[in-house]
């Protein structure tokens, strides 16, 4: 959800990408980046490193 710093109604994609309206960083983003970094540190010496990109759905079967 795209929330403006002033609050109020959520912004639409057009508000943000076409009109340049500012949005807040999601509260979970800092946690998610820190978790990804920690996971990369814990798995850096494994034979099967984590991919930098999400796996294709066909590769998960």
| pLDDT one-digit tens code per residue, 26-56 | 778 888 889 989 988 888 777 665 666 666 6
- Number of domains composing the chain: 1
Domain region containing 18: 1-29
Q: Classify residue 38: in a domain, yes or no.
A: no
**What's the confidence (pLDDT) of residue 53?**
66
**What's the confidence (pLDDT) of residue 14?**
92
| Separation between Cα atoms, residue 44 and residue 49, nearest integer Å | 6
The confidence band for 18, taking pLDDT boundaries of 50, 70 and 90, is very high
Q: Would you say residue 58 has pLDDT above 80?
A: no
Q: Classify residue 35: in a domain, yes or no.
A: no
Identify whether the C-beta of residue 37 lies closer than 8 Å to the C-beta of residue 18: no
pTM for the full model?
0.41
């Amino acid at each position: 959800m795209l929330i403006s710093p002033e609050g109020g109604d959520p912004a639409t994609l057009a508000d943000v990408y076409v009109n340049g309206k500012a949005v807040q960083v999601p509260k979970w983003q800092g946690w998610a980046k820190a978790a990804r970094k920690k996971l990369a540190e814990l798995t850096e010496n494994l034979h099967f490193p984590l991919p930098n990109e999400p796996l294709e759905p066909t590769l998960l079967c």
